[in-house]
Chains A and B, each alone.
Chain A
Amino acid sequence: MRFERRESASPALTVLAPLGAIGAALVVAGLLIAVAGANAFEAYGLILEGAFGSRLGVTETLTRATPLILTGLAAAVAFRARLWNIGGEGQFYLGALAVTAFGLVPGIAGAPAPVAILACLVVGALAGTLLLLVPVTLKLRFGVDEVVTTLLLNFVAILFVSMMIEGPLRDPLAFGWPQSMPAPDAALLPKLLERTRLHAGLLIALALAVAVWWVQARTVFGMRARAAGLNARAAGFAGVPLARTLALVGCLSGGLAGLAGAIEVLGVKGYVTTDLSPNYGYSGIVIAMLANLNALGVIAAALFSAVMFVGADSMSRALGIPSYIADVTVALSLLTMLVAIFLTQYRVRR
């Protein structure tokens, strides 16, 4: 058996690949549910019902998708340029923490809402960018591989958050529970629907997905970033300023992940704890890959993950199947997606 490169990937295959990948992942996860003694079809039915069956379910799914779209974009932007930013989780936390710290600046609490919101979002994005600039600088200056440094900095960032919310940023009114001061009221994102958690952050995330798509598809910077990712040497010879492009990609990617954290605080939680993120940063990597690094595809992939996570919670309560099955399915779909992308590029010959 050998593999032969296809001349060009057919459009049909490109569309079918993610669907096939998700289907395969669902089959394997279904087997795992069956082994645990439940009916897989019933479980998937309950997952869909939990995610779509009620007003609450739909809004929860969209609320859950919001940070996932942003962390997915963060990974997609970086991976396109072969900048392996695996530090989305840490950048998310620093963005979230920065917002609550910024709220202590005099004047923010009294500012008009649009100004306060915009200022907080910028601060959150900057915090994420700053954290990613450390490994990017180490890569460009010393040739240190960014995979391990971004991964290790996730742990440092979360310990830093824990230190701050038990120290200077601790909320004295939280009954001894380590949580940060609340974010400034003026900067809280407006709700999209009454009596739900759905907030305006979803619109920001969707707008940014379109903006990132436009940057990637229609600007010189987008083309340079992609060229750097496809073949850095060739891009360098063609006159692409590699270091500057990678640094800019890093700013964009870290900023998006930091923004995800800021929006989660301003839209949902209102304060920071060390369990603010159920692995949003890491899930972003899966979402970016499921979307084949396409910014608009990220929206669909984030929705798929959100459906799994929200639906699995209610399915778990009904059937006693651990809700970790959602994480298993999403992780599996990353692996099956890799194979699916491979099959769009190669044909198998005997």
Chain B
Amino acid sequence: MDQELMQPYIDSVNEVLQMMVGVKVLSHSVTPVEKSEIMSYGVASIMTFSGGIFSGRVVLDLPPEVALKIANLLLGEQFSTTRERMVLASISELNNTIGGSANTVINNSTGIGLRLAPPYVLTGDKLVFASTKAKSVGIMFKTNIGFFRMYLTLKGVD
């Protein structure tokens, strides 16, 4: 995936985490995803986007303990399970803000005109996300509250 399309997401994760919950990204690493299926850590928000010949998705995939820490920081309450509606709503809102901000930058710089569908959020055991074959990248973020991964897929771009 083109750096011009990926970098706005990396920047957005850094900015939004700092702004919304005061979490600092310590490092990130990018790896291509060869398989069309992703095994989730346990909590994920998925947001798809499309525009013209392009379509794609951004997946925020978090271990349950990191999702809980983010919800606790965002809402100032102590949650004990990821099956709480407000925990999932927090992760959904985080993804919405990250994706919205990144896509605005991409649209302004490239004129692609990507539009976001509302995010959905899920939790469960042995979770798998499958999609039609398209090139994805996985970006592992290490933060001061733990790690999580973002998966970016953009169909229509080599």
Do A and B truly interact? no
Taking Cβ atoms with an 8 Å cutoff, the residues of A that contact B are none
Taking Cβ atoms with an 8 Å cutoff, the residues of B that contact A are none
